Amino acid sequence: MAKYLLCGLLLLCNSLFAAAPRVITLSPHLTELAFAAGITPVAVSAWSDYPTAARSLEQVANWQGINVERILHLKPDVVLAWRGGNPQRQIEQLQRLGVKVEWIDPQSFDQMIAALTQLQQWSPQPQRARDAAQALRDGEAELRQRYQHQPAVPLFLQFGQQPLFTASRNTLQNEIISLCGGRNIFADSTVSWPQVSREQVLMRHPQAIIIGGDAARAASVVKFWQPQLNVPVIAINDDWLSRPGPRLLLAAKQLCEALHAAKNNTIKE
């Protein structure tokens, strides 16, 4: 009996102290997804500042490229890459050298939920990945149910100012507009992030403008559009809005509340 008890204790200790998979993330939103799934990466990209624990991690990628040599030295079990921002050539170099790479490019809430579910295989706490996926699923469903019967409000999603950029239907940002009962005036664009002119925006008569930023940024945008366009400018936390990670649900909630408060105020006036 003592022999079997000792074997059981050894197995338990081995499982408790087994090394967690070594994960490297190559964009800030992938870092957020990893932490949400219960993973603490061994290295991250520049601008990986959320959660706070990410700020102290080694950085092996930035806008100039990827430190291939350092990644090889760190011996990751998997590298999480982003097609929208990581250089294909260097990623392929990593793969040729035997590094496992997973591309994670969520373009919808369903894909982000799937990404969290996928990440549980490298998480020492896989239940956290499942819980995070379920929280996103529940939060999206709640917003959709609350606002799906609202009359659609034409919205302009503004990124930058000179030049002006926006988002089409093939983006997560467009999806949160739809969740809130909005209608993206450039949803029909053939590219995901089209550059548009001032005249094109004015011709489509948006009833509100959505930006990433704060109140000061919103005031600047209001000034930019006057006198031709005098509509509410709704400022959403920039990181929440621009990063395709779990905090996009916070951006959606902030947008929904602000949009319908602005609409109600317009109706009262």
Summarize pLDDT for 24-55 with one digit per residue, the tens: 999 999 999 999 999 999 999 999 999 999 99
Ranges under pLDDT 70 in the chain: 1-18, 262-269
Q: Are 91 and 81 in contact (CB under 8 A)?
A: yes
Count of the separate structural domains present in the chain: 2
So what's the pLDDT on residue 39?
98
Is residue 82 one of the residues assigned to a domain? yes
So what's the pLDDT on residue 10?
45
So what's the pLDDT on residue 11?
46
If asked whether residues 180 and 238 sit together in one domain, one would say yes
So what's the pLDDT on residue 6?
47
Q: Are 62 and 45 in contact (CB under 8 A)?
A: yes
So what's the pLDDT on residue 3?
52
If asked whether residues 164 and 228 sit together in one domain, one would say yes
If asked whether residues 67 and 94 sit together in one domain, one would say yes
If asked whether residues 164 and 93 sit together in one domain, one would say no
Is residue 142 one of the residues assigned to a domain? no
Instruction: Collapse the DSSP code of 165 into the 3-class scheme (helix H, G, I; strand E, B; otherwise coil) and give the result.
Output: strand
If asked whether residues 95 and 166 sit together in one domain, one would say no
Residue 176 sits in a domain of what CATH number?
Answer: 3.40.50.1980
Q: What residue numbers bound the domain in which 37 lies?
A: 18-133
Is residue 10 one of the residues assigned to a domain? no
So what's the pLDDT on residue 173?
93
Is residue 119 one of the residues assigned to a domain? yes
If asked whether residues 27 and 60 sit together in one domain, one would say yes
